[in-house]
A = this chain, B = another copy of it.
Amino acid sequence: MVGATGYGGQELVRLLARHPGAQLIAALGSSQQDQPRTLPGLARIWDGEVTAYSPEALADCDIVFLSTPEAFAATSAVDLLARGHRVIDLSGAFRLRDAALRAKFYPATPDPLPAGTVYSLPEFDAAQVPAARLVSCPGCYPTAAMLSLLPLSRAGLLQGDAIVDAKSGISGAGKGASERTHFSENHGSVAAYGLFGHRHTPEMEQALGMPVTFTPHLVPLDRGILATTYARLAPGVTAAQVGEAYQAAYAHAFFVRLAGDRLPEIKHVAHTNFCDIGWRVDAATGRLIVVAVLDNLLKGAAGQAVQQFNLLCGFPDQEGLL
């Protein structure tokens, strides 16, 4: 896999090292200049060295995971596909179908997308994954938004637009050291960012087929996202129908847990691959509020990528993820 020193990348190394059906052949950095380094937190789990990127080091890999910046993924994925690898990409490079939007948000990505590119959540449209050459994983925020609304939007239960107000831990800002990621700038604080301009907005709109206003916030914790989504039910839709749609959509989704009386909290999903979902309907106004929580490094990144790997290889959904 490539990008082993980032926060998501380290989780992926941890998962692959313990996956009974995977053999982690190489863990590389996302630069050809990276010095070899170990991952002290993973000692005894994975005692290898992360080395500089080179496609040759991946020669024996059937499947290559890319957990890298999108510009790097955009070019290396094409190269790796040409070399015959299948690729699971965690970056945003291949997520948008619309060429104009892709050119705006991911300018390094080739047009058209490589043949065999599939953008898919394991809980929806999984059937198309086994034949994919390049699996593009949804972003952490879109994963939360899609798991929150897809069962309803696909069933035609919604109208109008949606607002996704998301609260994310700081690991979501990446491992780069900056004023934005400094401890003292975030401890005891909350900050909104990317209003009306975050690149996850078009991804959500593409998946949900409705206009989305998306506002991410940084909250002072390490791992986890809580997304509060506001939507409106189509005329005549009842709370019972909402519940049935969720039950039907996730009847066989091991990693989606529908919360009952208690609303979801990040605490219950941090360090797991679960996404917990709760909701409330205001019958008088048709307003719907959905609360979804997941670990941005697992269900929002490395864990979901392993689910894709399981789909590609025919393993059970949970394999290596419990």
Residues of A participating in the B interface, judged by any CB pair closer than 8 Å: 7, 18, 40-41, 43-45, 163, 165, 167, 169-171, 175, 177-179, 181-193, 195-196, 211, 213, 215, 217, 219-224, 226, 228, 230, 254, 257, 259, 262-263, 265-268, 270-271, 274, 280, 282, 285, 287, 289, 291, 293, 322
Contact = CB atoms under 8 A, between A and B. Distances in A.
Contacts of A165: 165, 228, 230
Contact of A265 (B191, B221, B257, B287): B191
Contacts of A170: 182-184, 187
A149 to B, nearest CB: 16
A145 to B, nearest CB: 14
A322 B265 contact: no
Given A213-B289, A219-B219, A175 B167 contact: no
Contacts of A213: 230, 282, 287, 289
A60 B41 CA distance: 39
Contacts of A188: 169, 187-188, 221-224, 266-267, 270
A224 B289 contact: no
Contacts of A192: 226, 228, 263, 289, 291
Nearest to A283: B196
A41 B259 CA distance: 10
B221 A187 contact: yes
17 contacts: A7-B184, A40-B259, A43-B274, A44-B254, A170-B184, A177-B179, A181-B183, A182-B182, A188-B188, A188-B221, A188-B224, A188-B266, A190-B219, A195-B280, A195-B289, A217-B226, A219-B220
A257 B226 CA distance: 29
A171 B189 contact: no
Copies of this chain in its oligomeric complex:
4
A268 to B, nearest CB: 4
A196, A220, A263: residue with the most chain B Cβ atoms closer than 10 Å? A220
A259 B31 CA distance: 27
Nearest to A282: B196
A91 to B, nearest CB: 19
A263 B221 CA distance: 20
A178 B250 CA distance: 33
A289 B217 contact: no
A148 to B, nearest CB: 12
A224 B183 contact: no
A287 B184 CA distance: 32
B178 A177 contact: yes
B221 A190 contact: yes
A47 to B, nearest CB: 10
Contacts of A230: 163, 165, 213, 230
Contacts of A43: 257, 274
B185 A267 contact: yes
Contacts of A282: 196, 213
